[in-house]
Amino acid sequence: MKAKSFAAPSSKKPLEYYEFERREPKSTDVEIDIHYCGVCHSDIHTAKGEWGEVAYPCVPGHEIVGIVTRVGKSVKHFKPGDRVGVGCMVGSCGTCEACKKGYENSCFNETVWTYSSKDPVDGTDTKGGYSTLIVVPEHFVLHLPKSLDMAQAAPLLCAGITTYSPLRHWKIGKNMKVGIIGLGGLGHMGVKYAKKMGAEVWVITSSKAKEKAAKAYGAKGIIVSTSKEDLARAAHTFDFLLDTIPSGHDVTPYLSLLNVHGTLCLVGPIEPMPGFHSGMVINGQKSIAGSGIGGIKETQEMLDYSAKYNILPEIEVIQIQDINKAWDALIGKKMSKRYVIDMKKSFPQK
Ligand SMILES: NC(=O)c1ccc[n+]([C@@H]2O[C@H](COP(=O)([O-])OP(=O)(O)OC[C@H]3O[C@@H](n4cnc5c(N)ncnc54)[C@H](OP(=O)(O)O)[C@@H]3O)[C@@H](O)[C@H]2O)c1
Ligand SMILES: [Zn+2]
Ligand SMILES: [Zn+2]
């Protein structure tokens, strides 16, 4: 089946139109007609080669929502016409301890990522959701709850689960003070979930102009990360900090915000980080932790939770022809919400 897409032809060039063949669905595969795909900062890191070498053309996109068009003969849980989602993974070994426990995202034998991974079925490079269709093993397809709008559901598949999972793991709830560092696609979902879970939420931002948005999402206020006064005022007060900054940075100013036993959880900077003085965590029995998306079971739980409590992303729907402009806006820290590509409008059927 021919897929239309936008792909990065190299690490330096803008994305451009590209056509390629999707493999025929195997017996356990689901074929999905893609309606929407969210735009994650990881798409940019990968396509620009910032996380290591990738094969080109690179078709990013891992916040995928669409309608099932065909299923393989062994598929049990999906049928044509179903509304479904696909996130960052399309495969894992299924046999290691992590996979068996439902942590396919942490597979000891390598998770197959939705794009720029090796497809174990045919050895080709996986291609993501900036495209018109995708073929995915049933295990990695999620059911979209009925009440969820398809465009709004898309960012849940990465930004949603990446923030929901650590907030659950560190048992965020009432009488806790949570700081979300960086108010972008991930950050704004973090604010909404942490607030719903009962915490007092603050946004720690480098962009003072995002104060209004932060409060609209449920934050009590903002702390400007470049303001010594703001940081000093909030010192030793936070139980949990979720750090979504997309590049390596000094964590020292953030560690100083933690209360005794507080945790700084990294989700944004997936790269080497500058060092820090161990006294910053020894004093106060503090933790520096990390978290990467979530397993399939938890992703379904997050979709159901988001539908039940109406915790949904703020989105700006675009056509794929505007993707390069959208990426520039993310790099420029302009967005405090998520771009979602309308694939049907981008590639109208004639
Ligand atoms: N761990 C995981 O599983 C996982 C999953 C998805 C994404 N990620 C990673 O998480 C990071 C955030 O993704 P996202 O989609 O939320 O990105 P985004 O929408 O671009 O938001 C990132 C925010 O970080 C802040 N920021 C601080 N320094 C920045 C800089 N030098 N450049 C750009 N932004 C900066 C900005 O917020 P302020 O203006 O408020 O400072 C910005 O809006 C990316 O690195 C992405 O690859 C990780
Ligand atoms: Zn992502
Ligand atoms: Zn595994």
Q: Which runs of E-coded beta strand occur in the chain?
A: 2-7, 16-21, 29-38, 64-71, 83-86, 89-91, 112-113, 133-137, 142-143, 177-181, 200-205, 221-224, 238-243, 258-266, 287-290, 315-318, 338-342
Q: What is the best residue among 206, 207, 291 to mutate for testing ligand 1's pocket, by most ligand atoms within 8 Å of CB?
A: 206
> Is-contact 330 26, C-beta < 8 A?
no
Q: CA-CA distance, 65 to 69, in Å (whole number)? A: 13
> Which residues are found with C-beta within 5 Å of the ion, ligand 3?
92-93, 96, 99, 107, 109
Sequence-ordered list of residues with C-beta below 8 angstroms from that of 292, at least 6 positions apart, any chain: 105, 106, 162, 267, 270
Centre of ligand 3 from the C-alpha of residue 103, in Å: 8
Q: Is the CB of 160 under 6 A from ligand 1?
A: no
Alpha helices in 60-109 (DSSP H): 97-100
Atom of ligand 1 nearest to the CA of 203: 40
Fold designation for 2-158+294-346: Quinone Oxidoreductase; Chain A, domain 1 (3.90.180)
> Which residues are found with C-beta within 5 Å of the ion, ligand 2?
40, 42, 158
* Mean pLDDT estimate for the chain: 97
Residues 184, 152, 18, 87: is their CA dihedral positive or negative?
positive
Q: Is this structure's pTM higher than 0.85?
A: yes
Coil, strand or helix: which one is 171?
coil
For position 339, what pLDDT does the model report?
98
Residue nearest to atom 10 of ligand 1 (CA): 268
Q: CA-CA distance, 271 to 284, in Å (whole number)? A: 26
What whole-number percentage of the chain has pLDDT above 70?
A: 100
Q: Which amino acid is at 96?
A: C
Place domain 160-290 in its CATH homologous superfamily.
Answer: NAD(P)-binding Rossmann-like Domain (3.40.50.720)
Q: Is the CB of 162 under 6 A from ligand 1?
A: yes
Q: Is the CB of 48 under 6 A from ligand 1?
A: no
pLDDT digits (tens, 9 = 90+) for 251-267: 999 999 999 999 999 99
Q: Domain spans of the chain?
A: 2-158+294-346, 160-290
Atom of ligand 1 nearest to the CA of 105: 3
Q: Is the CB of 158 under 6 A from ligand 1?
A: yes
295: which 2 tokens? Answer: 């397993």
Q: Which amino acid is at 283?
A: N
pLDDT digits (tens, 9 = 90+) for 182-205: 999 999 999 999 999 999 999 999
What whole-number percentage of the chain has pLDDT above 90?
A: 99
Confidence of residue 350 (pLDDT cuts 50, 70, 90): low
pLDDT digits (tens, 9 = 90+) for 310-319: 999 999 999 9
What b-and-e string marks burial along 232-248, b requiring 16 or more CB atoms within 10 Å of the CB? eebeeebbbbbbbbbee
Centre of ligand 2 from the C-alpha of residue 73, in Å: 31
Shared fold status for 2-158+294-346 and 160-290: no
Residue nearest to atom 22 of ligand 1 (CA): 184
Summarize the confidence of residues 76-103 as an average pLDDT.
98
Centre of ligand 3 from the C-alpha of residue 111, in Å: 7
> How many degrees, rounded to 5, is the angle at CA 140 between CA 138 and CA 145?
90
Q: Is the CB of 186 under 6 A from ligand 1?
A: yes
Q: CA-CA distance, 310 to 300, in Å (whole number)? A: 15
Sequence-ordered list of residues with C-beta below 8 angstroms from that of 332, at least 6 positions apart, any chain: none
Residue nearest to atom 44 of ligand 1 (CA): 246
CA 75 remoteness from chain centre: 27
Identify the helix (H) or strand (E) that includes residue 308: helix 296-309
> Is-contact 90 137, C-beta < 8 A?
yes
Residue nearest to atom 11 of ligand 1 (CA): 268
Centre of ligand 1 from the C-alpha of residue 66, in Å: 25
Centre of ligand 1 from the C-alpha of residue 37, in Å: 18
Q: Given a cut of 90, is residue 209 above it in pLDDT?
A: yes
The ligand that comes nearest to the alpha carbon of residue 99 is 3
Q: Is the CB of 152 under 6 A from ligand 1?
A: no
Summarize the confidence of residues 170-185 as an average pLDDT.
98
Confidence of residue 349 (pLDDT cuts 50, 70, 90): confident
Phi and psi (nearest 5°) for 281? -110, -25
